[in-house]
């Protein structure tokens, strides 16, 4: 029986797992940056960077697919390719 990957450890209320080649990631990150959020509110993790070990978790929450952006919230919930408005609303709920 395969084991479920553990949820990545994060320090921010919102963690966006993204890739530079992904237009949806680029749009979400740009929209969040335009929102001028407080320092540390959002962490952007490049899933292509050496040493990043989130891909198995990403696949586990997306029916086996490595879909980015996948967003992890500090309450343990997640969203796949959410609009920035949803991420900002969730961030407000977390605070």
Q: Which residues pair with 14 in a beta bridge?
A: 42, 73
pTM (2 d.p.): 0.93
Model pLDDT, residue 1: 47
| Mean local confidence (pLDDT), 24-45 | 96
Domains of the chain: residue spans and CATH: 14-94 (3.40.30.10)
| Rounded Cα distance, 27 and 10, in Å | 22
Does the structure show a pLDDT above 80 at 2? no
Q: What are the backbone dihedrals phi and psi of residue 60, each rounded to the nearest 5 degrees, phi first?
A: -70, -25
């Amino acid at each position: 029986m395969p084991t479920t990957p553990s949820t990545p450890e994060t320090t921010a209320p919102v963690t966006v797992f993204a890739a530079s080649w992904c237009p949806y990631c680029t749009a979400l990150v740009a929209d969040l940056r335009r929102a001028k959020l407080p320092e540390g509110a959002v962490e952007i993790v490049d899933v292509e960077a050496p040493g990043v070990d989130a891909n198995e978790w990403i696949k586990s929450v997306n029916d086996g697919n490595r879909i980015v952006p996948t967003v992890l919230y500090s309450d343990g919930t997640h969203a796949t390719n959410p609009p920035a408005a949803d991420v900002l609303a969730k961030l407000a709920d977390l605070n």
